[in-house]
């Protein structure tokens, strides 16, 4: 299976909104995703298999830092390398940054293991950050190597 990661476009948005509804208790709407296309700080990536949307990652770059806002993978495509391809692309696309941060549910052991495999380090928690169900978020950061 070949996973292709491309920048998000208008044509991806209906599928991404459906994916959001499948994956999250408080999904982003089509209009919210459309707004990101016009946001100069947004770097949203779409994962495709056979030209079908199977996942996406939403990132914002502000000054020299990046923040991963969302990662969603189709339930049928989980544990097949989609999230790994997306995170790898986000790290590669942010090579001019000093760090990349994200929040993850404390119970999401698979995601935490994935982030740690890339070198993300835990830096704290946000109590009761998530709802449906209420849960703490763990904060993880990836630090880019300093250029000499």
pLDDT tens-digit readout, 101-112: 999 999 999 999
Strands 65-73 and 99-105: parallel
Quick check: is 29 in a domain? yes
CATH, residue 67: 3.40.630.30
Tokens (6 digits) for 17: 């909104």
143 is catalytic: no
Span 51-98, pLDDT tens digits: 999 999 999 999 999 999 999 999 999 999 999 999 999 999 998 999
Neighbours of 19 (CB within 10 A): 24
User: 50: domain range?
Assistant: 4-143
Is residue 148 assigned to a domain? Answer: no
Question: Does position 25 have pLDDT exceeding 90, yes or no?
Answer: no
The reply to whether 105 falls in a domain is yes
How many domains in the chain?
1
Among residues 36, 56, 115, 130, which one is catalytic? 115
In a domain, residue 11? The reply is yes
Catalytic residue check, 65: no
Instruction: Say which residues have a Cβ less than 8 Å from residue 113's Cβ, sequence separation at least 6.
Output: none
Q: Which of 36, 103, 130, 140 is catalytic?
A: 103
Asked whether residue 67 is assigned to any structural domain, the reply reads yes
């Amino acid at each position: 299976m070949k996973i292709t990661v491309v920048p998000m476009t208008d044509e991806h948005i209906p599928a991404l909104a459906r994916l959001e509804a499948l994956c999250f208790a408080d999904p982003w709407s089509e209009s919210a995703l459309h707004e990101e296309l016009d946001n100069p700080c947004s770097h949203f990536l779409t994962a495709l298999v056979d030209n079908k949307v199977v996942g996406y990652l939403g990132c914002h770059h502000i000054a020299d830092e990046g923040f991963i806002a969302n990662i969603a993978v189709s339930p049928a495509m989980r544990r097949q390398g989609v999230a790994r391809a997306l995170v790898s692309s986000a790290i590669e696309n942010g090579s001019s940054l000093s760090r990349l941060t994200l929040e993850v549910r404390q119970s999401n052991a698979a995601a935490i293991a994935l982030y740690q495999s890339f070198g993300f380090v835990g830096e704290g928690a946000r109590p009761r950050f998530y709802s449906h169900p209420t849960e703490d978020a763990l904060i993880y950061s990836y630090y880019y190597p300093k250029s000499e």
